[in-house]
Structure 1
Amino acid sequence: LEQSAEYLHEHNPQSSREFVQEVYDLTNLLKTNPAMGRPGRIFGTRELVLNKFPYLIPYRVKNNCIEILRIFPTRMSQPEFW
């Protein structure tokens, strides 16, 4: 999150704040609805898609715990694992 926010801040400080807020809002919703993301491309994961920015947030649910795996810019090639 920090790296992506810093990158955006260099180009547009307002975008950086909006990005951080959107990530916070979406991940906060996971507390009450862990299945809200679409099924992930990697088995056992789910993905949140940001609305305003080209980023994915892959995550998984293990033992009633939500594990955020990454905040991933969609312009990059997706790795085989998170």
Structure 2
Amino acid sequence: MNIVWSRQAIGHLAQLRTYIARDSPGAAARVAATLLDAVERLEEFPNIGRPGRVAGTRELVVPGTPYVIPYRLRGDRLEIIAVFHGRQKWPKRL
């Protein structure tokens, strides 16, 4: 399974890391590492995420964090669409 991050997802990850780093650079690094590790598990278990609220997607709820990572499967490719805080309002389309 080939994992590909969208530009939007890369931007979200960078933004959340910058935001958290304002108060705690160490915490920012830990959260980012946790998110990246969770995404890596998708390579072996692509259906581990729950069915997504947006059609055609799945959602990886990252344990120990408030973050949800929507993704979609396309053949042998897994696309990371975004990284959202669980309390964030979701767009109707991704």
TM-score (norm 2): 0.82
The answer for unaligned runs of 5 or more in structure 1 is: none
Q: Where do 1:58-69 residues align within 5 Å?
A: 58-69=70-81
The answer for unaligned runs of 5 or more in structure 2 is: 1-12
CA distance in 1, matches of 2:67, 2:40: 16
CA distance in 2, matches of 1:52, 1:12: 17
TM-score (norm 1): 0.93
CA distance in 2, matches of 1:65, 1:48: 16
Identity over aligned residues, as a percent? 35
Q: Which has the higher contact order (CA 8 A, sep 6+)?
A: 2
Aligned residues: CA RMSD: 1.0
Moved over 4 A (4+): none
Q: Which one has the bigger helix percentage?
A: 2
Partner of 2:28: 16
